[in-house]
Structure 1
Amino acid sequence: MSGELRLGLNLGYWQRNADDATEVVQTAERLGYDSVWTAEAYGSDAFTPLAWYGARTSRIKLGTSVVQMSARSPVATAMTAMTLDHLTGGRLLLGVGASGPQVVEGWYGQPFPKPLARTREYVDIMRKVWRREEPVTNDGPHYPLPYPGGAGLGKPLKLITHPLRPDIPVYLGAEGPKNVALAAEITDGWLPLFVFPEKIESMYGPSLAGARPGFDIAAMVLVMITDDVRAALDGVKMMLTLYIGGMGAKARNFHADIVARMGFADAAHKIQELYLAGRKDEAFHAIPDELADGISLVGPAGRVRERLELWRDSPVTTLLVMGPRDEPTLRTIRDLVLG
């Protein structure tokens, strides 16, 4: 049980039409939010918006949720992270993730197999870069340094710039039990997308057993303060329809898999089947209210306050709220979570 919860704001992807959330981030900082997070898929990148917001704030931590490993080599990510961490006074929280085969192979043109081994190698190389103990080499099969072959002139190198922090916190976006266990073993935190707080112990207890002291479970949760619970649940279900139904291949959808492990296997199969058949409205109605309610915090403030106790009784240590952008709602959530 975590008891005390930290509070962060997850902005998701930067979108077109000049989606500048500077005022939102400044408001969150002023209200005492601990962190703000951005994301990337196959649109905007995660680092650039954070640099923009970091230049306009002074205290709030800056997180990536998540940087896709296949988009950059380990040393490229390490260099970008070091630079942003330096420029913002040591505020970066570096979330990385393997993404899925559709994006990795279809967008980045990189192989997806063996994501666990690739992740381990990737994180190890980044930490070698930041420590600057010696020129960076790697004998692993996924990111060999120097490159074997080519011109034959590759030389081990050491980062020119001394990092502000040689131990930049690394988080891992993970959904499967083995990937969560890897996060607990080699990183400083885990970024779960869907969390059913009453079930996290039964789903991931063994995976989290090896976590180091201070390991941060920073769970993303959709929050809506409203008197219309029905409309709020429908909003959650709209998001779930896309993720369960269409975010992944029919035979390889990690979001559908996690919903199945929550105890909704039949529903997940039906939702995906309907969605891929083009029957999206039926897929929406196939999502159980219990699932939508379990992974979110929606309704009047009193209802959200009661449901927050489930999160306080879980291993979650940070709530990364998604959805709210206006100051009154951000203030209400701050008061409910931080008391």
Structure 2
Amino acid sequence: MEFGYSIGYWRQGPPPKALETIQAAERLGFDSVWTAEAYGSDAFTPLAWWGAGTSSIRLATGIAQLSARTPAATAMQAMTLDHLSGGRVILGVGASGPQVVEGWYGQPYPRPLARTREYVAILRAVMARQAPVTAPGPQLPLPLAGEGTTGLGKPLLSTLHPSREHIPIHLAAEGPKNTALAAEIADGWLPFLLSPALDGEARSNLAEGFAQRDAALPGPEAFEVSLPVPVVVDDDVERAADQVRPMIALYVGGMGAKGQNFHLDAVARLGYEAECEVIQERYLAGDKAGAIAAVPTRLVEEIGLVGPLAKLRDDLQRWESTVVTRMLVQGDVAALEAVAELRS
């Protein structure tokens, strides 16, 4: 199993000493650094800025949101960054949820799986640069024609030649159908809030997608699964878990709407349906402290690595036999150093 560093997105400003932390991850042997975006800081700019201060660590979006850019614009950014970095890009993309897609980006959300399939096909066509790009739609037709257009659009070939024949595309997914889609059309899967307890379900969903996989893509043996895992080293397990509870409460309680929250659904599949209901009810009522307090320690331990180093070593072993091929550490330099020590 490889290890990467997940820096995510930020609110008030860039994380303190972000570049120094990424450089430490590179020195410690972490193979990749992953950024994210929602409705604030974007995923690509930090990679370009910080990537200039590194030499070998792979630069990955985890994730770039599909509705934030047209597929051609996303491909342009990925290809440009791949040139500037010497071929280090991993392009992680995801559909997000209706609240963000329609509320922030002003794009329609229905049929996200079909839209994702069209989007990835256009990404591959642009980045392959084999012919002028066309797409039948119906959601993302190229060229755009019909009512409301000039009728002058024509298929175009990227003026930028790719630095590599194949930039890997990883697909974020939490539900069974989207996970299968990742195995069918992508080079990797980016799960979230996953536990080793669901490894059997994950393997089954991936197998369904692999059965439909395009023979032109690298085989399933090259498929990567990169999972963000919060890591907190502390002799007091409860104190360590307290640092992770707010994140879980936010995603389970505050991301999405009542009745449509993919993160809540993912945690509920772990057997925490009742706890999820309480967390969401309190969060949506404005009681964030109560929502955080309702996150069980055992849930934190299922999806994260928290506690003293000896415990982390034992807990890490649970992941070794799962589908996860890369653990993305969420934490500070101490967490990176601890994981590096556990690997040695």
TM-score (norm 2): 0.93
| Aligned counterpart, 1:152 | 151
Cα displacement (A) at 1:15: 4.2
Task: Measure the CA separation in 1 of the matches of 2:288 and 2:336.
Answer: 32
Cα displacement (A) at 1:331: 2.0
Cα deviations across residues 32-82 of structure 1 (Å, max 9, x unaligned)?
110001111111110000001111111000000100000100000001100
Q: Tell me which of 24, 28, 49 is aligned to 2:25.
A: 28
Cα displacement (A) at 1:274: 1.9
| Aligned counterpart, 1:110 | 107
Judge which range, 228-237 or 163-172, deviates more.
228-237
Letter in 2 for 1:184: A
Letter in 2 for 1:132: R
Among all aligned residue pairs of Structure 1 and Structure 2, give the percentage whose two residues are the same amino acid: 56
| Aligned counterpart, 1:165 | 164
Task: Measure the CA separation in 2 of the matches of 1:208 and 1:72.
Answer: 27
Judge which range, 229-238 or 180-189, deviates more.
229-238
Letter in 2 for 1:318: R
Instruction: Check whether the contact 1:191–1:219 (CA below 8 A) recurs between aligned residues.
Output: yes
Matches within 5 A, 1:188-227: 188-201=187-200, 203-209=201-207, 210-211=209-210, 212-227=220-235
Task: Measure the CA separation in 1 of the matches of 2:286 and 2:299.
Answer: 22
Letter in 2 for 1:82: M
Task: Measure the CA separation in 2 of the matches of 1:205 and 1:277.
Answer: 37
Cα displacement (A) at 1:14: 4.0
Task: Measure the CA separation in 2 of the matches of 1:331 and 1:289.
Answer: 24
Cα displacement (A) at 1:161: 1.3
Letter in 2 for 1:185: E
Instruction: Check whether the contact 1:197–1:314 (CA below 8 A) recurs between aligned residues.
Output: yes
Q: Tell me which of 235, 244, 254 is aligned to 2:252.
A: 244
| Aligned counterpart, 1:176 | 175
Aligned residues: 331
Task: Measure the CA separation in 2 of the matches of 1:59 and 1:22.
Answer: 14
Instruction: Check whether the contact 1:198–1:310 (CA below 8 A) recurs between aligned residues.
Output: no
Matches within 5 A, 1:288-327: 288-324=296-332, 326=333
Judge which range, 176-185 or 237-246, deviates more.
237-246
Secondary structure of the corresponding residue to residue 270 of structure 2: helix
- 1:131 has 2:144 as partner: no
* Deviant stretches of 4+, over 4 Å: none
Cα deviations across residues 299-324 of structure 1 (Å, max 9, x unaligned)?
11100000011010211110000012
| Aligned counterpart, 1:7 | 3
Instruction: Check whether the contact 1:180–1:190 (CA below 8 A) recurs between aligned residues.
Output: yes
| Aligned counterpart, 1:40 | 37
Instruction: Check whether the contact 1:243–1:256 (CA below 8 A) recurs between aligned residues.
Output: yes
| Aligned counterpart, 1:74 | 71
TM-score (norm 1): 0.95
Letter in 2 for 1:60: I
Task: Measure the CA separation in 1 of the matches of 2:31 and 2:19.
Answer: 16
Letter in 2 for 1:216: E
Task: Measure the CA separation in 2 of the matches of 1:240 and 1:270.
Answer: 13
Q: 1:18 to 1:317 in 2, by over 3 A?
A: closer
5+ residue gaps, structure 2, are 211-219
Secondary structure of the corresponding residue to residue 213 of structure 1: helix
